[in-house]
Amino acid sequence: MILLNSFNPQKPDIIENQPLSQYTTLGTGGTAEFFAQPQDISQLQALIVEAGNIPVYVIGGGSNIVIPDGEIRGLVISTRRMNSITWRNDLTAEIGGGYILSSLVNTLRGKNIGGLEFTAGIPGTIGGAISGNAGAGGHGVCEFVEGVRAVDGRGNMVEYVRGDFSYAYRECSLGGVIIASVLMTFTEGWKEDEYTVFVTRRRNQPLNFRSAGCTFKNPEGNSAGKLLDECGCKGLTVGGASVSEKHANFIINCGHATSSDVMGLADLCARRVYECTGITLEPEIHTLSPCFNVP
């Protein structure tokens, strides 16, 4: 159990019974038994050590995730305040895991540094983007990662360099740790035309509604959105959740959705696509789960 009000100076405040819906792009989810927002890796380490054997969860920008309804027993850590950036040279920077991806894109654009044009409009933090190898157009952010500093379940700092981890479409092998910072090397010259292409694509998404992003991964050689549309999923609803009429691979919060509504609707859509086509859709959004195995 966490011993409240018994911290050394480097530990951040721990809040009890913190509502979590405000920390997600979907706007649903229950309440954290304990909640904290570290500002750097030493504070993150201190939190993990103090948590002991209780479950520890992490959220970054709150996109691509569904937090269950009800009480989340254990410690929920938000990395949003771990948002530093230090340039090593003209093209290489160490970036805090809580740094917002869209802010990084704007920084690169302003410096005429290329590489992440394809991430235009993708929400969330750089740590979350690395964990799921976020991307578009056949590219993923992990392509630019030179090194990672993370914290394991015992509060130890662990470091990885390129070659220590693998990645694929919407996947990265850096599981079981919390990403504290990443070392990334970009390319010379921002490509405005390429950036504009991806900005234009995002306009086909329901940006005026709360969502967790794309619900399903694209099957190899196919489009999840196209399959969902052809199988009549647009407009389907469960409770306060609805499949967007603008883009079928987005489940939107109509204002009063619960996480159970969202996951129930996702299951309904997956079943319908399988019954119509025999194709099994793999979820791209994740349900909040512990970062480490609790003994």
Which pLDDT belongs to residue 4? 39
Neighbours of 31 (CB within 10 A): 17
Helix (H, G, I), strand (E, B) or coil at 266: helix
Same fold, 14-78 and 85-192: no
Which pLDDT belongs to residue 7? 40
Neighbours of 81 (CB within 10 A): 15
85-192: CATH topology is 3.30.465
Query: Cα–Cα distance between 11 and 46 in angstroms, integer?
Result: 6
Which pLDDT belongs to residue 11? 72
Which pLDDT belongs to residue 293? 63
For residue 69, give the nearest of 34, 36, 23, 31 by alpha carbon: 31
Q: Half-sphere exposure of residue 274, counting CA atoms within 13 Å on the CB side? A: 10
| Rounded average pLDDT per 10-residue block, the chain, 295 residues | 43 92 97 97 94 95 96 97 97 98 97 97 95 93 97 96 94 94 98 96 92 95 97 98 98 97 98 98 96 68
For residue 149, give the nearest of 164, 139, 167 by alpha carbon: 164
- Residues with catalytic function: 170, 214, 284
Question: 56, 20 in Cβ contact below 8 A?
Answer: no
Q: Half-sphere exposure of residue 235, counting CA atoms within 13 Å on the CB side? A: 3
Query: Which residues lie closer than 8 Å to 151 by C-beta, 6 or more apart?
Result: 41, 44, 45, 48, 157, 158, 177, 178, 180
Specify the CATH architecture of the domain 14-78. 2-Layer Sandwich (3.30)
Query: Cα–Cα distance between 100 and 290 in angstroms, integer?
Result: 22
Look up residue 216 and give its DSSP letter.
B
For residue 102, give the nearest of 112, 91, 116 by alpha carbon: 116
- Bridge partners of residue 148, in order along the sequence: 160, 182
Alpha helices (runs of H) in the chain, residue ranges in sequence order: 41-51, 101-111, 126-131, 192-202, 224-230, 259-277
Question: Taking the domains of the chain in order of start, what are their residue ranges?
Answer: 14-78, 85-192
Which pLDDT belongs to residue 267? 98
